[in-house]
Structure 1
Amino acid sequence: MSQQTLLQELNSRIDYYSTRTDYPLRRILIGYRAYAKLMLCSAFSDEVINSAIDPNKRKYKKLKIKVTKDDDQLDLE
């Protein structure tokens, strides 16, 4: 899966869950390979890098990012 389609999938999931559920989203769970692919996309990487100096506190669309050991995991909590 290319990084642009992966970014579109992530954005569509965030939009879907934020509009359809009453449960507030807290963080994004991203597998390490999916994270590497997303960081190649300039729209994602610019927002993530500029969100915080500390890599453990970086955010995308005001949601914390948690990088996991799974290859291509892409989930929301």
Structure 2
Amino acid sequence: MAILTVKKLDNTLSELAVNHKKPEKILIGYKAYAELMDDRKFFDEVAGSAMDPSKRKYKNIKIKVTQDDYQLEIKCSKE
């Protein structure tokens, strides 16, 4: 079973929006990223966002894949 799902990621992003925080970057561990890429909706949006894997986005938020297995950290802009 996946540790991180697209639904969990979407819920986290929704909570930030409710708290009036604007996400700038999503830091995702490489194993969590691989599990998310198994979800067709996530794959279509991320793979279609840019030809270069280092410039991919999800919901117009930059994605940075990290060396930590299952990291999920969302960096928000300072307002």
Residue in 1 that maps onto 2:11: 12
TM-score by structure 2 length? Answer: 0.87
TM-score by length of structure 1 reads: 0.89
Gaps of 5+ in 2: none
**Alignment partners' CA distance in 2, 1:49 and 1:64:** 12
Query: Matches of 2:61 and 2:24 in 1, distance apart?
Result: 6
Which residue is equivalent to 2:47? 49
CA distance in 2: counterparts of 1:49 and 1:69, whole angstroms = 20
Q: Distance in 2 between matches of 1:6 and 1:51?
A: 19
After the TM superposition, which parts of structure 1 deviate over 2 Å for at least 4 consecutive aligned residues?
A: none
Unaligned residue ranges in structure 1 (runs of 5+): none
Give the structure with the larger helix fraction. 1
The structure richer in strand per residue is 2
Q: Structure 1 vs Structure 2: percent identity of aligned residues?
A: 45
Secondary structure, aligned partner of 1:67: strand
